[in-house]
Structure formats: C-alpha cells, structure tokens
Amino acid sequence: MKVSCAAMVAVLAGLVTAGCTPDWATTNSTPYIMEISGIAPAGGSIGSAIMSDVSVPVINDDADVNVNIFRKNNNPNMGVSPVEHIYLERYEVRYFRSDGRNQEGVDVPYRITGPLGNIRYHTPSPGGGGEVEATVSITIVRHQAKLEPPLRNLQGGLVGDTGAVQLPGAGVLTTIAEITIHGRTVQGQGLEAKGNVQVTFADFPDAAAAAPATGGQ
C-alpha cells in the first residue's frame, strides 16, 4: 500500500499539533477558562490564613474568593454574543491535612457545598486584557461543623499568648481547605476552578478577656 508524502506530512502535522495543545485549552469544552485568583478571610488580605475560632457560642467563618474568566481565543476580530453569559452556581469546600489523616468527621470537618445564587458574568470582549473578575463570598466553615468532631473536640483548649496549648481541649487543628467554584454557560456547558487556603482551628482566647486591666484604685 502506497502512501503519498503529502498524506504523511498531513498526519504528522496533526499529531504534532495535538501534542502541543496546552492543558488549559482542553480542560473543558467551553470557549472559556475560569480560575480562582485569590482567597482571603472575609474583609481580609489575599493570601492570609483563616483563623477559625471554635469557642461557644459558635460563629461561622466566611471567605472572599476572586474568580476570573478568560477567553481561550482572544482574537480581537471575534465578536461578542449576548448568549455568552456565564453563571456561577455553587461551591464546594473539602478539607485535608498535610499528614494524610483526612477522614471526614474524625480528622477533618465534613466537606460542604453551597449555592452562589447564579451570579452572572458578562463574558470578556476579545482583545485587550480579555478577562472579567468578580469576588464571591462563601461560608468556608459552617456553624454546625463546630458542633461536630473533630472541631468540637477543640473546645476548651485555650491558646495562650506564648502559643502554649492549655488542656482540656485537643489544642489546634491546621487544615487546607480546597475550594471549588462550579459554573455553567448559557448553553449548559460546565466550568470549574479550584484554589486552596489554610484554615487553622482552635479555641482562641477572647481578646477582651485576655487584655490586662488598666487604671487603679
């Protein structure tokens, strides 16, 4: 069987092209890429660890998540269609530890999911920066998680100014929270983005109670 040189070149070119396609262009079937560009404690600075107080009465912890959306093809000659909107629908938080002890409800809190209220993005115009960004607020630690093991086991373990743990509590639990944002296009195609942030749990001392008394008799 004879194969022409032109046919062989075409096949080889196709293989080379397929092999050189970057991962970011094939991670989903949409024309877009979604990324988490920053995570911060609610009202805090990007990159800061989240300090979660498990003391009673329990209070949930929130986080601000910056979400970017890019076009895979940023050719400035492309048009923009009104049916190219993207909706952020829900998020998931999964906890794990660097020592590999990751059993939910024993070593780390149970994973949680929550809605994002169908936050709508107007997709970026081609050319220029070619991206849009929004900050979404999520609950990264729910009230009920602090009423269940392992966080409940930390209650009563005060951390002093020197960093020493005062029993009877189990002390301090440091975890990594993996946040996944799920979205979809108007056509129903799925998008997701992941990011990590450190969350440290403890029964931290009350700042007002720990402050030294001032004044005198």
Domain with residue 176: its CATH number is 2.60.40
Rounded to whole angstroms, how far apart are CA atoms 49 and 198?
A: 5
- Residue 62 within any structural domain of the chain: yes
- Residue 4 within any structural domain of the chain: no
- Residues 14-41: tens digit of each pLDDT: 544 445 555 544 556 788 889 999 999 9
- Residue 8 within any structural domain of the chain: no
Q: Please state the domain count of the chain.
A: 1
Stretch 48-57: mean pLDDT, rounded?
93
- Residue 168: pLDDT over 60: no
- Residue-level pLDDT at 164: 58
Beta-strand ranges (E) seen in the chain are 32-41, 50-53, 61-71, 86-96, 112-121, 131-141, 158-159, 165-166, 173-185, 190-202
- Residues 57-108: tens digit of each pLDDT: 999 999 999 999 888 876 666 666 667 788 999 999 999 999 999 999 999 9
Q: Is 75 helix (H, G, I), strand (E, B) or coil?
A: coil
- Residue 9: pLDDT over 60: no
Mean of the per-residue pLDDT values of the chain: 79
Stretch 104-115: mean pLDDT, rounded?
96
- Residue-level pLDDT at 95: 98
- Residue-level pLDDT at 86: 87
- Supply 61's token pair: 């912890």
- Domain range spanning residue 49? 23-206
- Residue 132 within any structural domain of the chain: yes
- Residue 156 within any structural domain of the chain: yes
Residue type, 44: G
- Residue-level pLDDT at 151: 95
- Residue 172 within any structural domain of the chain: yes
- Residue 216: pLDDT over 70: no
Going across the sheet that includes 112-121, the strands are: 50-53, 190-202, 173-185, 86-96, 112-121
Cβ atoms within 10 Å, residue 122: 12
- Residue-level pLDDT at 83: 73
- Residue-level pLDDT at 17: 46
Stretch 126-140: mean pLDDT, rounded?
79
Q: Confidence band (pLDDT; 50, 70, 90) for 208?
A: very low
- What percentage of residues in the chain have a pLDDT greater than 70? 67
- Residue 139 within any structural domain of the chain: yes
- Residue 170 within any structural domain of the chain: yes
Contacts of 49 (CB under 8 A, 6+ apart): 41, 197, 198, 199, 200
Q: Angle at CA 132, nearest 5°, toward 191 and 35? A: 40
* Residue 7 φ/ψ, nearest 5 degrees: -65, -40
